[in-house]
Amino acid sequence: MNHQAITLANWDTPPYNRHSFLNMKDYIPVTPVSRGDGPVRDFTQNLIDLDKVELTRINGSAATVLDVLDTTETDGFLVLHKGEIVCEKYFNSMQPDTLHLVQSVSKSVTGTLLGIYIDRGLVDRNALVTTYLPELKSSGYAGASVNHVVNMKTGIKFEEDYTNPDAEFVFLDRAAGWKEFESDSDPRSIHDLIASLEGERPHGEYFQYRSIDTDVLAWICERVGGAPLAALISTEIWSKIGAEYDASFTVDHQGTALADGGFNATLRDLGRFGQMYLDGGMVAGQQVINTDWVEECRRGDTDSFRVLYSEFASHYPNAAYSNQWWVVDAERGVYSARGVFGQMIYIDPQSETVAVKVSTWPDFLDTDRALDTYRMCAAISAFLI
């Protein structure tokens, strides 16, 4: 591959994304998320050969874990069981110190910061967004509560269509610095875009996935925390999970982090983040995030979820969305952080398993690849339980 051919116009398309997602600092400005100077959380290794664990693909064909990894453009795959590494694999030139773009897994990281601030009383989840961001009183976010935003039940007009050139999501790409501006009317920053959005229905009706809601949460956190998002996540999360490496966020032209999708981290550090959730929000005897918040991430409003996401619910009837996490099974408490192009943190408390997969699919969304990945993680959890 000719890396010099990678531009803002093509970095997130195949084959270029196979390189760019592992080298984001070379293409888009980033800001570091410091790991601090604390000790690294070491993992004991108790490697198990999971390659031949069997599953049935969504198309009905038989497959193994290795088959799924090989056919879903995997860059890194990690499985933790009872806090031990039982599987760790790298592909496509990824190394243990490689920072990989995790797309919307970023939402679960940003949501964690909000959960910390809610627990401290710095943010009231029942308060209006405009309590913290009066700049939005004339926007579609007027009348929306923090709770509406964290669970993506706002009534904002924001089409999350990655292929529609007129969708609001396309303007977010430009505002965030992920694509070139195309006209003088393009919002010049993430905050400018948020303030320009209009409403299309009442807040609180049902779940609809909107990336921009996460950027509103980040703005609230920055306002009450008095610092940029990257610094706040460093202080409150990354320096407390025993991370081995600094992470990073991509930033817009004003230096604002793309909270909904711009996070970059190593495979093991993503595992450390997931392990914190599996352990009820605790790391090395310190409660990083409140246990109640963690429990909420495992449950959710299944009826609200089914309104627009009946296809996913047909495979997972107890699915929901809660606190910036995708609930896979609200009864068993299985949940996941997900990002386009195949990013995932999968947590199964019953089997005490955390699985992390970072990928570079050729398309933003691929239902078969996503469901096969979920089935693979479920097969591994069943094998380890």
CA distance 208 to 177: 25
Question: Among 92, 257, 239, which Cα is nearest to 175's?
Answer: 257
C-alpha span between 357 and 372 (Å, rounded): 12
57 SS3 class = coil
- Of 298, 309, 111, the closest CA to residue 216 belongs to 111
Helix residue ranges, H only, the chain:
17-20, 65-71, 105-120, 129-132, 146-150, 168-175, 190-196, 211-225, 229-233, 267-278, 291-297, 302-306, 310-315, 367-384
H/E/C letters for each residue in 237-298? Answer: HHCCCCCCCCEEEEECCCCCECCCCCEEECHHHHHHHHHHHHCCCEECCEECCCHHHHHHHC
What distance in Å separates the CA atoms of residue 352 and residue 275, rounded to the nearest whole number? 9
Minimal CA–CA distance to 133: which of 262, 221, 236? 221
Which of 104, 139, 211, 304 is catalytic? The answer is 104
For 83, which DSSP code? Answer: T
Local structure of 44: helix, strand or coil: strand
Please say if 104 is a catalytic residue.
Answer: yes
Rounded to whole angstroms, the Cα distance separating 236 from 281 reads: 12
Task: Give the residue from 242, 220, 31, 245 showing the smallest Cα distance to 132.
Answer: 220
Does residue 269 contact residue 244 with C-beta atoms inside 8 Å? Answer: yes
Which residue is listed with tokens 């711009």? 262
By C-alpha distance, which of 73, 43, 149, 54 is closest to 364?
73
Show which residues are catalytic.
Answer: 104
